[in-house]
Structure 1
């Protein structure tokens, strides 16, 4: 048994859900932070090759990024527990600005080394940011609102990708080929800088009060020895091991989708427009699956089964459509433009839109699973860090596979296999690890004799 916060008391404020110290406001804040930093990063990488004609610099920078991300994703939860949200997230977000700046530099000097170093540093920063984000998003909401809050975060976060898609689309509207211009990278840097300073507005878990009066966490900070031991235990935790294939797959497909679908099939201005709809699809997907995971049944276990089933069917259909598209173009560069008439643009556009839908439903499902495994922010920061670490290791391998001229068809088959392997393992996780938590009122008066004046306390099993 673990106490996750104080029992109901005079702090109960059910009618004021938009208090600054409420979970929903804090989730909205972390959503806007990710809107500005990883949201803009997603828009940048979504163009394929970081907006460059030759994707080698971006591939190598992303390999360095996801290699360090794999390490600091796993360590990030422990660092967050030691330093708290302000230092951890501020340090993490600042590295996004440097990364965008490295491509501005590359536009002028074609120096790949700076981009690779910036990518490696961004991997460190992203590990810190996403561990903190995962802890906030999965531990601050009450048990019955986690799906909705994850969807709320995902929607705000992906507005960054939508808006970020407009930046290269508008600033390169007259171009159909070549690199994106300097103003594109400068626009990304401005948003990322704002997001970095917005991290200072977040509240630590012990100051966040839910509507029922319980707090999201305690003030107690951890220590390096405890965090080191707890991180090592994650590699022997059967629940985390069942999540490994889903974690590995969840960013692996970005390389194929960005470089070999959006990057190869479309003109430069159309790539930006496509990203507007790709990240817009993510908003729709996260809202849809979030509602299913919260409302489809009173039983959390049944909701988990339903969620896995829907995502599995959606994924199979979309990857099947991707195979048909890949066989049609077979690595060609047709330079499709949104002004083209007929179905030549429409088919690949709908496919790319569907890939965004699948990404959001898949990742929202995994985050919901993680949130169902624990309640306290310290444990969930470690679980989220483990997820992002394994996810990033998979992404590092994917970017290197692409840089070594692996055929797009082979990449598609690998992605389809990885996501398909994940579904039965997630079903096992639902069966044995997802439970409906019972709130048990412990009446000290009954247990210790009437008249002792001891208060009742609510504890979660």
Structure 2
């Protein structure tokens, strides 16, 4: 059993379960708009605080994960999700905005830890031929949290006439998020994860905070990371618009919950199918990177054209009678919301996959993912703030759409420079370091040949 437990796939599945119970449940709660509350401004302000601290935390999270390990980083991060659910339970009774905003700020730091640890694992543990598959499996399990988490408020609030979810909903989220934090402690350290062929996961340890700080600083000089900044920035920008300005504004509480279920269900299928495509042996890895990005572009354009058609039918100042799932005209709007979820899954998966195509080293990918989450969260903080101050819906939609389009050229530059494999270069680097340390520089070439 020990051998099976140390396999990359099982560890990726376990990470998926941890995120299912923490961030997946948060997504279900957040996806209903306003954290399940009628007053979305409070939750928007909490999200501004969350994404602001997430952005700052993301810059240092890679170093923290490398030093204390993904297991402890993710366990610590998981506790902040339970605290946030508890703050919303408190809000149901005391209307304490400050507590929710403070909990959101702490959650930002916790989310940076849990997502950076997750990103390092799911992008570095798989072999190169399985990265799309493993990332797709992770997102499938993770988004199952959004589905299951959305079923809870759907069932508990099916006959509710209120605009906010009940106490039982928040208590359920609090318990599940706490379990997610405990599950993280079952993860193995990267040094004990072994591929089926006996090859260890690539791990490079840095012994001090100074070393990690230097390596993190180098990311801002990495042309590939700079080119991916627009993609990272856009990758969570649309949540404020989709969750608050579409779902919370236009639909009643049970329909919001159903939309949430369908949104995250679409993500499961989108991640698994797109991940499978990015691993197809029919094309080389560089062509898969290019074709995958083109598919993503056309999917984005089709979806947001539909979103524009829907958005011009209403505006923020309208007094809207919330639509119910049995009302005429709901089907078309439901399909659009499903397409939003499908787009999100494909976009996030591609960002992970393209980073994983740049290296196989766990420590380096910890930094890449921390950088990704820092930029992503900065975008999230800005977008939630734009929504919180009452910006009109149409400009918000157009901003989301334009940012997604702008992200394509930089990502294409990186895709055009993807190598067919990183094993040769990375194995050579490891052998050279070992040879220098042993004073056997003259024999490096022979050792490299035998290693690859």
TM range, smaller chain: over 0.9
1:401 matched to 2:386? The reply is yes
Of 65, 84, 88 in structure 2, the residue corresponding to residue 99 of structure 1 is 84
**Is this contact kept in 2: 1:296–1:303, CA < 8 A?**
no
Change (3 A) 1:448 1:434: closer
Counterpart position of 1:147: 132
Structure 1, unpaired ranges of 5+: 1-15
How many residue pairs end up in the alignment? 437
1:250 matched to 2:235? The reply is yes
Counterpart position of 1:60: 45
Q: Distance in 1 between matches of 2:22 and 2:241?
A: 22
- 1:236 Cα shift? 1.4
Q: Distance in 2 between matches of 1:207 and 1:231?
A: 25
Query: Superposed, which structure 2 residues align to 1:24-43 within 5 Å?
Result: 24-43=9-28
Structure 2, unpaired ranges of 5+: 436-441
- 1:18 Cα shift? 8.1
Change (3 A) 1:296 1:353: farther
TM-score (norm 1): 0.91
- 1:296 Cα shift? 5.8
Q: 1:197-235: per-residue Cα shift (whole Å, max 9, x none)?
A: 000100111100011211113474531001111111111
| Matched position secondary structure for 1:298 | coil
Query: Superposed, which structure 2 residues align to 1:150-229 within 5 Å?
Result: 150-218=135-203, 220-229=205-214
Q: Distance in 1 between matches of 2:378 and 2:22?
A: 21
1:129 matched to 2:129? The reply is no
Change (3 A) 1:434 1:425: farther
Q: Distance in 2 between matches of 1:457 and 1:382?
A: 30
- 1:401 Cα shift? 0.1
Change (3 A) 1:455 1:153: closer
Counterpart position of 1:390: 375
**Is this contact kept in 2: 1:18–1:25, CA < 8 A?**
no
- 1:405 Cα shift? 0.6
Q: 1:289-311: per-residue Cα shift (whole Å, max 9, x none)?
A: 11111006331000000100000
Q: 1:134-164: per-residue Cα shift (whole Å, max 9, x none)?
A: 0000000001000000000000000000001
Counterpart position of 2:451: 458
Query: Superposed, which structure 2 residues align to 1:315-330 within 5 Å?
Result: 315-330=300-315
**Is this contact kept in 1: 2:286–2:418, CA < 8 A?**
no
**Is this contact kept in 2: 1:103–1:185, CA < 8 A?**
yes
Q: Distance in 2 between matches of 1:114 and 1:126?
A: 18
| Matched position secondary structure for 1:19 | helix
**Is this contact kept in 1: 2:359–2:422, CA < 8 A?**
no
Q: Distance in 2 between matches of 1:448 and 1:402?
A: 61
